[in-house]
A and B are shown apart, each in its own frame.
Chain A
């Protein structure tokens, strides 16, 4: 790996490392596992950087997809449930920051801080049942039918809720989403 490449990777980490870390942590829970997922995710991002096309999506979305996949793979490989899923079963707090908690992480980057607040607010505006479905899918990696089993709800209801929630989030977050090429 050339020195310039290492610098690029360092910059990628500096910009997105904390988001990737927090996401991995919310899914796997254990600190050692979290670090493994982060290293794994950046390693994969680095290997597949050639397939990443900035015209077709943001770096954030690309990294989040990789991170979620690696984290959920690790949780499954460990034969565990994700931290959020375990918590959800106890109906305690879940993976997304509450509007109150989000203020504990001041971000020097104004744009990022605003995005963070917008995301937290948008999640807060979802009906509780929709938010729950999103959390199970997002942090638990559960499929439609697994969510239905978890919540003891009809499959159709779960599908509708998940879709409605994602559409609401997309509307609410649209100022931060740009159009992509097909």
Chain B
């Protein structure tokens, strides 16, 4: 039997119109064919919607109590709460669409996260691959941690790549400074490290600032207007262009 022939049986099967032999045969096929199962369900949905097109009839008011009473008797065991929850959710969410909608939301969120990670990666790469980029290495006398800064002068973006930098203590943050000779340090921004110790962060160099030196201090969360500690990472700028 061809696949096409099987597909043709989905609609009459969903309506219950297959003759017994064909029905049994098709049910065996359904056990192994996911696409036919989807096809059958789509026609069951049609069948379900057709019920909405039936000539209207108003149920008597007392039927509701009878249904609940009858179901109470008919139920052999206490309904597991999870099942009750599933039914309630299906009802409240409307026609059982809640789960699909929920999954769509989850996928959408995952997609957005992946997209933003990709965007951020592209942004970093674009900032690095530019002839205007200046680079400096910040080090604490040759020991870990260390840091490399890439300053895209055309776009005033600073990409911070840190190595072996532990996360700042609770309530503290790291702050990067741009220092011009004879002037007070200017904050480039605050950042923290990931548990991996290898964060890559992009910050914006304040407009008009042309630092000779950059340094990193540990500051209270939110950063400080001026450094409150001795920097633990210091480096001077050199241009590669």
Interface residues, chain A, CB within 8 Å of chain B? 1-2, 4-15, 17-23, 25-26, 34-35, 38-40, 42-44, 46-47, 49-50, 52, 54-65, 67-69, 72, 95-97, 101-102, 104-105, 111-112, 115-116, 119-120, 122-123, 134, 137-138, 141-145, 147, 159, 162-163, 166-167, 169-170, 173, 176-182
A182 in contact with B52 (CB, 8 Å): no
Which of A138, A144, A167 is within 8 Å of B50, CB to CB?
A138
Given known pairs A144-B12, A163-B12, the reply for A173 and B70 (CB within 8 Å) is: no
Given the complex of chains A and B, what is the CA–CA distance between A103 and B49 in angstroms? 17
Asked whether B44 lies within 8 Å of A61 as measured between CB atoms, the reply is yes
Q: Return chain A residues, CB-CB under 8 Å to B47.
A: 61, 64-65, 68, 138
Known: A23-B54, A102-B56. A178 touches B74 (CB 8 A): no
Which residue of the partner chain A has the closest CB to B96? A54
Q: Which residues of chain B have C-beta atoms less than 8 A from A64's C-beta?
A: 44, 47-48, 50-51
A159 touches B12 (CB 8 A): yes
Check if A25 sits within 8 Å of B57, measured CB to CB: yes
**Contacting chain A: which of B76-84, B111-119, B181-189?**
B76-84
Q: What are the 9 A-B residue pairs with the smallest beta carbon separation, nearest first? A: A61-B48, A182-B34, A105-B56, A119-B53, A166-B11, A43-B74, A54-B96, A21-B59, A60-B48
Return chain A residues, CB-CB under 8 Å to B52. 19, 60, 112, 115-116, 119
Interface centre among A5, A15, A39, A176 (most CB of B within 10 A): A5
* Interface size range on B against A: 35 or more
B67 A38 Cβ-Cβ under 8 A: yes
State the B residues within 8 Å of A (CB). 8, 11-12, 14-20, 22, 34-35, 37-38, 41-60, 63-64, 66-68, 70-76, 78-81, 83-84, 86-100, 103
Contact B59–A38 (Cβ < 8 Å): yes
Interfacial chain B residues near A39, Cβ < 8 Å? 63, 66-67, 70-71
Closest to A48 in B: B83
Output the least CB separation between B150 and chain A (Å): 46
- Nearest CB of A to B47, in Å: 6
- Nearest CB of chain A from residue B23's CB, rounded to whole Å: 8
**Which residues of the partner chain A approach B83 to less than 8 Å between Cβ atoms?**
49-50
Interface of chain A: mostly helix, strand, loop or mixed: helix
Residue in A closest to B97 when the chains form the complex, CB atoms: A178
Q: Per a CB cutoff under 8 Å, which of A17, A55, A57, A115 touches B44? A: A57
Q: When the two chains form their complex, are residues A35 and B60 in contact, meaning their CB atoms are under 8 A apart? A: yes
Indicate if the CB atoms of B74 and A46 lie closer than 8 Å: yes
Q: How far is the CA of A147 from the CA of B19 in the complex (A)?
A: 11
| Measured CA separation A83–B96 after assembly (Å) | 31
Q: Contact check, B15 vs A18: say whether CB atoms are below 8 A apart.
A: no
In the complex, the answer to whether B17 meets A143 with C-beta atoms within 8 Å is yes
